């Protein structure tokens, strides 16, 4: 459906939350090494590994390997310094969303890795520095899934 890409994630609970999120909205979660933790870390397990069997999670040796696997996808980097508000884009199935490490975001070199990479931001109050990574992933995932008419949603009631 769509792809969530965590570039060099550092904090296990954020990745665990993203695993749970991917399982619940039908996205594929891509983790780009190096990871700041082991995938069997107890914090990761507590926050999302019970959903690991329900989520599509792929681990890549580097960003170029991930880009090659997702050839043909439109790529969006989600950054505090993005050029376009996330709610002003029409998303499509197959789009990929790149999120940087919690402590440093995406470097200029990473932003140049993909020539047609578009950058997005999520609005915040003027003195705010950033949102939590898993919250940012959730905001993006549900906006994309909403635009895709909640494809695959389980019937309620």
Would you tell me how many other CB atoms lie within 10 Å of the CB of residue 78?
A: 24
Domain count, the chain: 1
- Tens digits of residue pLDDT in 13-64: 899 899 999 999 999 999 999 999 887 756 556 555 566 677 889 999 999 9
Which position has the token pair 């993203």?
18
157 within some domain: no
Q: Rounded CA gap, 98 and 75, in Å? A: 7
- Tens digits of residue pLDDT in 93-152: 999 999 999 999 999 999 999 989 999 999 999 999 899 999 999 999 999 999 999 998
70 within some domain: yes
154 within some domain: no
59 within some domain: yes
155 within some domain: no
The reported pTM is 0.92
Range of the domain at 16: 3-147
The CATH number for 131's domain is: 3.40.1280.10
Q: Rounded CA gap, 80 and 128, in Å? A: 10
Which position has the token pair 């890549």?
60
121 within some domain: yes
Would you tell me how many other CB atoms lie within 10 Å of the CB of residue 108?
A: 6
């Amino acid at each position: 459906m769509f792809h969530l890409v965590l570039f060099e994630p550092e904090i296990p609970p954020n990745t665990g939350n993203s695993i749970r999120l991917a399982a619940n909205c039908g996205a594929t979660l891509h983790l780009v090494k190096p990871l700041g933790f082991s995938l069997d870390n107890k914090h990761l397990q507590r926050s999302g590994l019970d959903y690991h069997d329900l989520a599509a999670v792929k681990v890549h040796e580097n960003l170029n390997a991930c880009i090659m696997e997702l050839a043909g996808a439109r790529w969006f980097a989600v950054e505090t310094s993005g050029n376009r508000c996330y709610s002003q884009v029409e998303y499509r199935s197959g789009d990929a969303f790149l999120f940087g490490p919690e402590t440093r975001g995406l470097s200029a070199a990473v932003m140049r890795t993909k020539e047609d990479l578009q950058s997005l931001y999520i609005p915040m109050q003027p003195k705010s520095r950033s949102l939590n990574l898993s919250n940012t992933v959730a905001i993006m995932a549900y906006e994309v899934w909403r635009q895709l008419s909640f494809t695959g949603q389980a019937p309620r009631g």
